[in-house]
Amino acid sequence: MSKLVKGLALSAIASSVVIAGGYKIPEQSLNSMALGAAYVAHTMGADTAYFNPANMAFMEDKQYAEGAITLAHLPSNVYSAGMFSGKSEVENMLIPNLHYVSHEMGSFRWGMSLVVPGGLTKRWKTPFQKASAEEFTLKIIELNPSLSYKIIDNLGVAVGARAVYSEGVVKSNGASLSAIIKKPKANISRDMEGDTVAFGYNLALAYKPTSDINFAVTYRSKVDLNEEGTATLSAAGHTLYKGDSSVSIPLPAALNISISKTWEEQFTLELNYEKTYWSAYKTLDFEYGGANIGALTPVFDNPIPREWKDTNTFRIGMSFKMNEKLTTMLGFALDETPVSTKHIGFELPDSDAKIVSMGFRYQQSENLSWGLGFLYDSKKSTVIAPGINTKINPTRENTKFSEGGAVLTTLGVAYEF
């Protein structure tokens, strides 16, 4: 597959999906968006099938269906470095999700979710950035069936399967940069695309020590994405290679531990800790069907160190039942990036983030509810000192990534029958 696309971008998928560290998107429903993904212990609707399927064991004996659409607005990343400065294009993406929970079947229950757990689109038109990341686009869709089992009245477990389809495009073009710095060797380009289907699993446990306290643990397995596709590599306008390409990228495992407490059936507080095992992403190594790409080997074929680190995310979510019709929600999170300044690139200029979210759900009728959720992801600026990462900072001064982040808006509708 578009090796670099999957490489840098796909490493952004996993987890964890808010637009989180590594560009994963954890918020996959109205409630999860409004609560900033602090939505694992106290899940309530059809989206329980995705966020904590063990909780399906405690839901009322009826069917639940829910769908939502999210508009993700990604402002420009700004890179400040004198003559090498530039900013990425503004991106707007629609992200859908669907969830379903079945009737009880004795102590068993099944559910199904169709989600977009991660993705990336990053485009640069400025010469220095375009030379390595003219476009990086990654699309991911996951089908997640799950089955729960009620062990006793206050303890449930679940298991699920992850079927992940992804496709991506990666382009780079050094022609403009070559003209500016007067180095013909910089006039090289690549155009890659590919896709893959891969599988994993998820596990969940839900425990209710009292009627107003929920404790939950969920785990999503690592998924190895063995991308296969085609690549065209060129120099000075001449095609030097056109053929097969491949790369293997890990979609890292993620562990969530959550606890919630409800007071007088009106106010619920949830605390969530997530560990994402990004350290599985050590190198990005493209293959070209065994072909020798000659002088382009150092740029396009040598393994690229990634050395990402495991990350911690801390979330808090609050739900207020204002009356029988209206529920409001608030969330806050601190999210670490797995990317170090030593290995940061224009395809994924990620950094630590603070996340604020809010929203509401309105009970239109006994069976139908709808609502809106909003989330703002504020990224911390990243400074690259000279000599730390010469591919990003070729100067003798500090350079900086700033702005970026994300604004997400979700409209959701749920029906129980």
Asked if pLDDT for residue 356 goes beyond 60, the answer is yes
Q: What is the mean pLDDT of residues 267-276?
A: 97
Q: Which domain holds residue 89?
A: 3-416
How many domains would you assign to the chain? 1
Asked if pLDDT for residue 215 goes beyond 70, the answer is yes
How distant, in Å, are the alpha carbons of 11, 132, 239 from that of 137? 12, 13, 23
Q: State how far the Cα of 85 lies from the Cα of 82, in Å rounded to an integer.
A: 6
pTM for this entry: 0.90
How distant, in Å, are the alpha carbons of 92, 272, 329, 354 from that of 21? 19, 16, 23, 11
| 103 membership: H or E segment, kind and range | none
- Residue 23: what pLDDT? 62
Q: What is the mean pLDDT of residues 230-245?
A: 91
Largest CA distance in the chain: 73
Neighbours of 113 (CB within 10 A): 26
Q: Residue 147: pLDDT band by 50, 70, 90 thresholds? A: very high
| CATH number where 60 lies | 2.40.160.60
Buried b / exposed e over 141-176, threshold 16 CB at 10 Å, is ebebbbbbbbeeebbbbbebebebebbbbbbbbbbb
Structure tokens at 252: 């890292």
The total number of residues shown for the chain amounts to 417
- Residue 19: what pLDDT? 46
Asked if pLDDT for residue 1 goes beyond 60, the answer is no
Q: Residue 12: pLDDT band by 50, 70, 90 thresholds? A: very low
Asked if pLDDT for residue 8 goes beyond 50, the answer is no
Q: What is the pLDDT of residues 172-185, one digit of tens each?
A: 898 888 877 778 77
What's the mean pLDDT when you consider all of the chain?
A: 90
Q: With contact defined as beta carbons under 8 Å apart, do 99 and 50 qualify? A: yes
Instruction: Report which of 351, 413, 410, 363 is spatially closest to residue 37, judged by C-alpha positions.
Output: 410
Residue percentage of the chain with pLDDT more than 70: 94
Helix ranges (H only) for 81-238 are 127-133, 175-181
Instruction: Name the DSSP letter for residue 275.
Output: E
- Residue 186: what pLDDT? 80
Residue percentage of the chain with pLDDT more than 90: 67
- Residue 21: what pLDDT? 62
Instruction: Name the DSSP letter for residue 59.
Output: S
